[in-house]
């Protein structure tokens, strides 16, 4: 990929390291275009969790993030299509149902009990905000209430401590699974 794939930040603003971004997108393209997945290939989870160093005059963060969102969606849809082609529509629905069921266990809990509290003295996510997101996700899955994958993907929670907070790692893992399901459906 060319060095000018994405616009760069100007002035003293930091952006994503162009070499890292270009290398990642090159590897993603190779993985995506391969007819059958190989060990070490990238997938939607790898795209969702990638991180880049910030450097002066690097690539524009918002533009790269938007491209990563589209790439993640493309990988999720490709995985869905491959599963359907290999094992049929019923296998895909079964897998989707299995993953959604694992999410449902958290969604049916009472407010304040969706996730564990962080360890003493450790900062976590604000319980009320996370509970609100869980209600919206539950309405999406159970009532078909409109919600975009980007609303989940880009959610930001205030931080809190103690019994006013949820463990960040648990919430992040849950959000990742919700995004995975929504991206494969849309």
Could you read off the pLDDT of 159-178 as tens digits, one per residue?
999 899 999 999 998 998 89
Q: Which of the listed residues 87, 103, 133 is the one where a domain comes to its end?
A: 87
8 A C-beta contact, residue 165 and residue 125: yes
Residues 77 and 134 in one domain: no
Say what percent of the chain tops pLDDT 90: 45
8 A C-beta contact, residue 36 and residue 146: no
For residue 5, is it within any domain? no
Distance of alpha carbon 74 from alpha carbon 110, whole angstroms: 35
Q: How would you label 111-138 residue by residue, b for 16+ Cβ within 10 Å and e otherwise?
A: eeebbebbeeeeebbbbebbbebbeebb
For residue 101, is it within any domain? no
For residue 141, is it within any domain? yes
Domain count of the chain?
2
Could you read off the pLDDT of 93-143 as tens digits, one per residue?
887 778 777 888 888 899 999 999 999 989 999 999 999 999 999 998 888
Q: Which domain covers residue 142, as residue numbers?
A: 113-185
């Amino acid at each position: 990929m060319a060095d000018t794939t994405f616009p760069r930040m100007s002035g003293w603003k930091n952006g994503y390291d162009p070499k890292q971004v270009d290398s990642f997108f090159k590897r993603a393209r190779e993985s995506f275009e391969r007819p059958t997945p190989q060990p070490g290939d990238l997938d939607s989870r790898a795209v969702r969790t990638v991180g880049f160093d910030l450097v002066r005059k690097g690539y524009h963060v918002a533009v790269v993030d938007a491209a990563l969102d589209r790439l993640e969606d493309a990988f999720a849809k490709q995985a869905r299509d491959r599963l359907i082609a290999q094992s049929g529509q019923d296998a895909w629905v079964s897998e989707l149902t299995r993953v959604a069921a694992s999410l449902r266990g958290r969604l049916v809990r009472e407010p304040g009990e969706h996730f564990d509290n962080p360890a003493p003295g450790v900062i976590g996510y604000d319980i009320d905000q996370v509970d609100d997101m869980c209600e919206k996700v539950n309405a999406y899955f159970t009532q078909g209430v409109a919600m975009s994958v980007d609303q989940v993907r880009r959610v930001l929670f205030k931080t809190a401590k103690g019994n006013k907070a949820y463990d960040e790692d648990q919430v992040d893992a849950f959000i990742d699974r919700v995004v995975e399901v929504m991206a494969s459906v849309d």
